[in-house]
Structure formats: C-alpha cells, structure tokens
Amino acid sequence: MAARNEYDKKDFNPNEVQSLDGSPGHEAHDVYTAPLHRKLKSRHLQMIAIGGIIGPGLLVGSGNALHLAGPAGILISFILVGIIVFFVMQSLGELATLIPVTGSFIEYAERFVDDSLSFALGWAYWYLWVTVLANEYNAVSLVIMYWTDTVPQWAWILIFWFLFLGLSMLGVLAYGEVEFWLSLVKVISIVVFFILAVIISAGGIGPQKIGFKYWKNPGAFADSINGVAKTFVIAGTLYAGTEMVGITAGESANPRKAVPRAIRQVFWRILIFYVGMMFFIGILIAYDDPNLLAAGSRTARSPLTIALSNAGIAPAAHLINGLIVISVISAGNSSLYVASRTILFMSRNRKAPRILGRTDKRGVPWVALLFSNIFGCIAFISQASGGGTVYNALITLSGVATFIVWGVIEFVHIRFRNALKAQGQAVEDLPFRAKWYPYGTYASLAANVFLIFFQGYTAFLRPFDSTAFVTNYILLPVFVILWVGYKFWRKTKWVKVEEMDIWSGRREIAPEDEEAAAKKRTLFHKIRNVVVG
C-alpha cells in the first residue's frame, strides 16, 4: 500500500486538481479554467446554509403542508425528514472537510462510483435548484399581491428576476456578506414570531385563548397517513439546501475549520426553526382555514401573516410579509449560487456545454448564472393556471430530486469508506468523522430510497390520479436515462475501491492559533457561534 500512496502523491497536481476551487498558480486569466475565489469565511458558510432554506418555501409553503397533513402530521413528517438530514450532513461533512472541491458530491460520485452517475446527479441537482428558484419567484409574487394587485404578478416575477441576477453578479465575497445579514434578519424575525406565537396561544394577545384547540377541532390529522405521505416531499423540498455546505466548501478560506462547524450547528438551527415553525403554525391556525394556500388558490398568504392577522395584529402581519420579501432575496441568492456552481463544474468536466464554464476576472461564473436564471423563468407558467396548483407541482418535482441527491450522497460516502479500508488508510486520520457510521449512513440511504417511492403512493388510491403519478415519479426514469445513456455514450466504468482517487483536492492544514481557539471555547463564544456563526 505504501507504493500506492507514493504513486498517488507523486501524480497529485494541486493546480490541476483544484482548478475549480481557487488554487494558486494561474499566471494568466483563462475564462474557461480560471478558479473561483476562496473568500467565504466560517460565518458566511453557516448563514448561507441556513439562509438559503429559510425562504418563501418555509414561510409560505408550510401553510400548504399544514393544509394537507394537519398539525400532528407536519410534525411527524418534518421530524422524520430532519433525522435523515442529520445523517446526510454527517456524511457530507466527512467528505467536504477532507476534500473541499466546488463540485462537491457531484465530483465525489465521479471519483468514487462512476462518471455516468456524476452526470445524472449533476443535472438532477441543477434542476432541483432551478425549480426551487422558480418556486421563489412564484411565491414572492403571490405574497406581494397580499398588499396590492395593481401591479400584475408577472411584473413582480420579472422585477425579482433582474434583482437576483444583479446580486449574484457582485462576486462571492459580496454574495457572502449580503447573505449573512439577510439571513440574520430572517433568523431574528422567526424568533420574534415564536415569542408572539406563545403569547397569542396563551391568550395574551388576540380575542381568545387558543391553546391546542385546533388539534381537537378540526383535528390533529387532515388526512391520516395519506396527508403525512403527501408532506414528506414538501419537507424534503424545504430542507433542501442543507447540503449546499458541500458546494460552498470549495470557496471557503479554511474548510477544515469552517465545514465541521457549519455541519454541527446548521442542523440544530434548521431543526429548531423548521420543527418549531410547524409546531407554532399548527396551534395558531386550523388546517382547514380558507386563507391557507390550497390547490387553485390565487391568494398565497403566509401562515405567519394569517396567524398574526387573526390575532388582530395587522401592523405586525404587514411586517412579517415584508420580511418574507426580504427572505426571498436571500433564498434566491442561494438558489442561483448553487445552480451556477453546479453547472460550472459540469461544464468544466465535459458534462455540459463548454460556454457555461466561463468566468470573469473576479471569478464570477456569469454565463452559468444567466443560464440558470433563464430556466427559472418557468415561474411564468403560473400565469396560465392556478398559482397554488403550479406551486404544488414544482415543490413535488424538486422534492423527489432532493431525495435522489441525498441518497446518492450516502451511497458515495459508503464507497469512500470502503476505499479507505481497501487502500489501508485509517479512519482516525480523518479531520471530521461521521457520527454512528455505518448504521446511520445505511439507514439514511434506505430511508431516502423508501421516500422516493413512498411519497407518491397516494396517486394509486382509487380513483387512480394519472397527473399526480407523473408529477411524483417522472424524475426517476429521467434520472436513469441520463445515467445509463451517458454510460453507453462515454463508455464509463465502475470505479474499483482499490483505484479510487482519495487524495486529489485535499488542502494543507492551516496552523491553529491556540490562544484564539481557547477564547472561542468560552461560553460567550459558543452562544455567539450558535446564533451568528
């Protein structure tokens, strides 16, 4: 094995392997090979991960989840999917800390499994974020129309289309700063809502004491197990974005420090905010409230806004609506960021048109940004049919893609561990190790595979719903076609564990300042890290 390791290290070329990640050594700017800039700090990484998923999907889409499953149903689905997210993040944290590349798990799939799987995964992940971006456009335009319908919905979509594109063109450091502060505003606003929710429920504000009366009438479940099944895919979509830590690791200044911290803390923030949000809207609003977003509805109002309006806090309701608009700017930023970096990697690895791999002198992948944003224009479809119907369909499609991506991450992690063993490498030498491996990883993989098929089973209930069937399962054959088609076209081969490249893309360990590290271990700094990173 010593000979094998020497061979790996001798062939290792940091300038070649890390070309996407901002490695030094490029004397001239080549628009097709120039690296991205490594300027994201730990606090940026953490807020990007949480800010990208606290958007209209959570603040508006949660109302639809409540409508479908009821207060107990959404708690069950979001807690179960949250457990899956925990193990996915553990697996990704182990890989991204050791090998922080912009391609992240798409590159890992290429190196540890098969190049054809990487091709299918990359396009599925890009599609996921383009779909999420379209959801952002559709949701924010509907929310703004809570105030006025003087400006047509398509005009609001167009306004935010240019706004998102302009912010994304500023560069990675500007993007990180904007995302940090916008995400902080969102976090603070949700905490304020939680406090108000407790006061409203106890009868301190509003016409009556609510307590858990909506759990009794109309009930804790909207449609028993069927409602829970329908919200699994919504939960998957709203949790989608936790894995973007892997993508941003490639542009992190110190991934060995930033990634583990982001992995450990972001999960707990998400679990608290998401499960907390589901709990509070479940006690403040009945699942059959006519104002909730339902299929065919043209008035998509946030459950936060509904809850505060019902309590007679009209000014606060307008403030929440404004914060939702702010949140969509942040979430749209993250959606475009991930989609553009994904297609950039695909382009530079001959899996997408070469033109998409261009960057400017600031390291901004402007062609990939424009290309991804153009496809986000599918949000305009909402003008031809009910906003609620289109919104639900888009969420379902992107939710299935999320489970596919998470399942592949777990499978890639298993293959990586097998390669470590085959090549005689010690697990103890890893800078970050996934908790409860292999049990958690295998269980999460099985759960993702199960949810890919289970989430759409209601389409088979009598009468058979052909539209729901296509929406729930169309991505599966498309993914397989991309995988198998690319395999035959490129004649790719399954990578043997003995031949896996587990060395390329690693970075040197930055020297640790012991005095600074000691300060960060104090109680004050621990609290600060949990709140703002």
Span 198-232, pLDDT tens digits: 999 999 988 888 999 999 999 999 988 888 988 88
Give me the residues paired with residue 252 across strands. Answer: 40
Q: How far apart are CA 474 and CA 442, in angstroms?
A: 26
Amino acid at 321: N
Confidence band, pLDDT 50/70/90 cuts, at residue 299: very low
Per the structure block, which two tokens stand in for 60?
A: 């508006």
Residues 6+ away with beta carbon under 8 Å from 408 = 105, 109, 117, 121
Q: Lowest mean pLDDT: which of 49-58, 197-206, 442-451? A: 49-58
The stretch 169-190 carries a mean pLDDT of: 82
CB-hemisphere CA count at 13 Å for 277?
Answer: 30
Per the CB < 8 A criterion, the answer to whether 129 and 335 are in contact is yes
User: Which residues, other chains included, contact 31 with Cβ-Cβ below 8 Å and sequence gap of 6+?
Assistant: 358, 359, 360
Q: With 60 as the cut, is the pLDDT of residue 518 above it?
A: no
Q: Measured between alpha carbons, how far is 74 from 220 in angstroms, rounded to an integer?
A: 10
Q: Distance (Å, rounded) from C-alpha 337 to C-alpha 129?
A: 9
CA distance 61 to 318: 18
CB atoms within 10 A of CB 400: 27
**106 token code pair:** 């798409």
Q: Which residue has the tokens 């989430």?
A: 455
Coarse DSSP helix, strand, coil percentages of the chain, rounded to the nearest 5 percent:
70, 0, 30
Whether 22 has a pLDDT exceeding 50, the answer reads no
Return the biggest CA–CA distance within the chain. 77
Higher local confidence (pLDDT), 529 or 224: 224
CA distance 20 to 24: 11
- The number of CA neighbours under 13 Å toward the Cβ of 244 is 28
Encode pLDDT of 301-354 as tens digits. 678 888 888 888 878 778 877 887 888 788 888 888 889 989 999 999 999 999
pLDDT at 261: 78
- pLDDT of 408 > 80? The answer is yes
Neighbours of 139 (CB within 10 A): 29
DSSP string, 343-377: HHHHHHTTSS-GGGG---TT---HHHHHHHHHHGG
Q: 40 forms bridges with which residues in the sheet? A: 252
> Of the candidates 366, 358, 371, which has an alpha carbon nearest to the alpha carbon of residue 123?
371
What residues have CB less than 8 Å from 268, skipping those under 6 apart?
530
Place 412 in a pLDDT band, splitting at 50, 70 and 90. very high
DSSP states of 42-108: HHHHHHHHHHTTSSHHHHTHHHHHHHHHHHHHHHHHHHHHHHHHHHHHHHHHHHHHHS--TTHHHHH
Position with higher pLDDT, 411 vs 399: 411
Q: How far apart are CA 227 and CA 450, in angstroms?
A: 17
459 vs 479: CA distance, rounded Å = 20
